[in-house]
Amino acid sequence: MVLPNPPAIFVADAVGLDFLNSVATPVDRPVEWLGDGAGLIQWLREADLVPERTLEAIANNAMPGELDSVASHARSLREWFRSFVLEHKGKPLSAKAITELEPLNRLLARDEQFIQITIAEDERSKPRLQWDRQRRWKSPETLLAPIAEAMGQLVCTEEFTDIKACEGHDCTLLFIDRTRGRRRRWCSMAVCGNRAKQAAHRARAN
């Protein structure tokens, strides 16, 4: 019997790292949120990276197996980026890393974004004109575009010295430490932090 996946984990404070956390062991069994096309669609929905109408249209128009193939590409992309992040986390990211990021730049070059003037509707104010960045979603493969953008934003806007791995036993989750003094140790105090406290209490009791 295949158990349904729990909601995806978003504890990294950066979508590019949350993408790496799309495979993890949150409780007692490994969970792969990108195991197939349906999983990829659901993760993108929960990450709020793609408009709901776009996800529905792509899912409805995809050829058999097409979304599963994109999910496979997403997993490969994830593990490639994981190697990069693990190699560089905890220290400043230098410009020399640009050569390692060539695969990401090639993926970003496929993106088709453009700006439109649209009407911004806010319940608290009158409708007004705004710049609206949009994207052409020509095929299921374009679902990788917002993921690639999130990865690029991580590389260019975050301090890699603040990227940490959870210290929890068997936990593989990564996060940005934005705490004062950079003292964060756990993906979540409610999960790994609490487990560590319980383990320390048992050790003292013995």
Question: Where residue 74 sits, what CATH number does that domain have?
Answer: 1.10.3300
Total structural domains within the chain:
1
| More confident: 193 or 53 | 53
Does residue 121 sit within a domain? no
- The average confidence (pLDDT) of the chain is 91
Q: Collect all residues with Cβ–Cβ distance below 8 Å to 7 and sequence separation of at least 6.
A: 46
Q: CB-hemisphere CA count at 13 Å for 26?
A: 15
* CB contact at 8 A, 178 and 13: yes
Does residue 187 sit within a domain? yes
Q: What is the pLDDT of residues 16-37, one digit of tens each?
A: 999 999 999 877 788 999 999 9
What pLDDT was estimated at residue 1? 47
Does residue 184 sit within a domain? yes
Does residue 28 sit within a domain? yes
Q: Which domain holds residue 23?
A: 15-90+97-108+147-205
Average pLDDT, integer, range 109-118: 96
Percent pLDDT > 70 in the chain is 90
Percent pLDDT > 90 in the chain is 77
The CA distances from residue 182 to 90, 163, 164, 177, 179, in Å, are: 11, 10, 10, 6, 5
Q: Is the pLDDT of residue 190 over 70?
A: no
Q: What is the pLDDT of residues 162-171, one digit of tens each?
A: 999 999 888 8
Q: Is the pLDDT of residue 199 over 60?
A: no
Average pLDDT, integer, range 37-63: 97
Does residue 115 sit within a domain? no
Does residue 138 sit within a domain? no
**Residue 78 — pLDDT band, cuts 50, 70, 90?**
very high
- Secondary structure in 3-state letters for 125-169: EEEEEEEEEEECCCCHHHHHHHHHHHHHHHHHHCCHHHEEECCCC
For residues 59 and 136, what is the distance between their CA atoms, to the nearest angstrom?
A: 15
Does residue 20 sit within a domain? yes
Q: What is the pLDDT of residues 135-145, one digit of tens each?
A: 999 999 999 99
28 closest CA partner among 190, 166, 169: 169
Q: Collect all residues with Cβ–Cβ distance below 8 Å to 155 and sequence separation of at least 6.
A: 16, 93, 97, 101, 104
For residues 104 and 61, what is the distance between their CA atoms, to the nearest angstrom?
A: 27
Does residue 163 sit within a domain? yes
Please give the structure tokens belonging to residue 61. 């128009």
What pLDDT was estimated at residue 28? 74
Q: What is the pTM of this model?
A: 0.89
Q: Where are the alpha helices (DSSP H) in the chain?
A: 15-20, 37-47, 52-61, 66-88, 102-108, 144-157, 194-205
